[in-house]
Amino acid sequence: MIVSFKYFLVFIVFGLLTACAGSGRPVAVGSNASSAVVDRARAHTNLGAAYFQKNKLEIALDEFSQAAEILPTYAPAFNGLGLVRAALGQHEEAEKNF
């Protein structure tokens, strides 16, 4: 029961982070990132969040990984990676992503 509540709480926090990432506000990603690169990273992050919500964890992991590869300074991608890895039981890797 406590584990379920923990994942529910993490899910809510992630949802809020995703909403902020998609709100059109600037994201601190460094001065070298073009808006097209940020948009691609955001798109993969949003896809990852959608797959995470549907419990398709392997696909979500792939989407968040692509976002992090496209823009290594895009924090929402790494938050998503941490959430998926925690849900998969990969706790050490999850901590590195948070």
Dist. CA 62–CA 76, nearest whole Å: 14
Dist. CA 24–CA 87, nearest whole Å: 28
Q: Which CATH superfamily is domain 35-98 in?
A: Tetratricopeptide repeat domain (1.25.40.10)
Residue ranges of domains in the chain: 35-98
Span 31-57, pLDDT tens digits: 567 899 999 999 999 999 999 999 999
For the whole prediction, is pTM greater than 0.75?
no
Please determine, for residue 13, whether its predicted confidence score (pLDDT) is greater than 90.
Answer: no
Count, residues in the chain: 98
Is the model more confident about 2 or about 78? 78
